[in-house]
Structure formats: structure tokens, C-alpha cells
Amino acid sequence: MSCGVGVAGLYVRDQDEALKFYVDKLGFRVHTDVKNGGYRWLTVQHPDQPSFQLGLFVPQAPMHDAATAQALREMVAKGAMPPLVLVVDDCRAAHKQMHARGVEFTQEPTERYGSVDASFRDPAGNGWKLIENRKGAR
């Protein structure tokens, strides 16, 4: 029997905007996009990680009341949520490719801790670390 995390979600301000960013700029692909009334379950996958989905969710009912949803949107916009990590084989090459696609970086590739990393944010404000995989670390 195989068990593990299948979906991790993050809050976005607009699912269509997030979908365009994650697919067009980061190279993810749509896994699931279904609606139930006003609620939309939208997940994407990295092409090299087909068993894992990243959920792009708007803070709203039925998961949150209006005040909580507003507070969550404000926290995300300020970059207050923990950063996500995208591991790549070559940080500088990935940075160059993503920058050419329009990803705005908050930190250029920097050598530290025996690796290279850079930082960017998605349109909702979620922080990402782009980290070069250390040789043999997979």
C-alpha cells in the first residue's frame, strides 16, 4: 500500500490569474478543474512530479466565513505565508527561463549553503524559493 501527500493547497486571489501564471510561466499543467456551485477545485501538477498536485484555492465559503477569507487574502498579499520550494537541476538556467516568461524575482540566484537559490512571488503574493538540487540529494 502506498500513502503520501497527494495535494497541497495555497491561497490565490484569482484562480484564472493563478492558473495562467502556474501553467504559462512555471510550466505546470492542469490536473483538475471542476466547479460545484460557486466553489472551484483547481489543481495543477509539475510535469516531473505527476503524483503530486498543487491546489490553487480562493479563501471563501464553504471553507471560511467572510471575515476569515478576507484576513487570509490580506496575509497572502503581504507575503506572510510560508514559502514554497521548487527544486531545479540548474537554478541560474531556470531563473533565466522563468524570467523570460515574465516571472518577477525578488532575489536573483545566490550561492549559499552549498547550493544556489533565488526567490519569486506568484500574482497573489505567495513566496517561492527556487533551489538548485545538490548533486546526489534526490
Q: In what order do the strands lie in the sheet with 7-11?
A: 7-11, 53-57, 39-45, 29-36
Domains and CATH numbers, the chain: 7-132 (3.10.180.10)
User: pLDDT tens for residues 70-116?
Assistant: 999 999 999 888 899 999 999 999 999 999 999 999 999 999 989 99
pLDDT score recorded for residue 62 = 86
Q: What is the mean pLDDT of residues 133-137?
A: 67
Residues 6+ apart with CB under 8 A from 128: 83, 84, 85, 86, 119, 120, 121, 122
User: pLDDT tens for residues 30-57?
Assistant: 999 999 988 999 999 999 999 999 999 9
Single pTM value for the model = 0.88
Strands (E), 58-104: 84-88
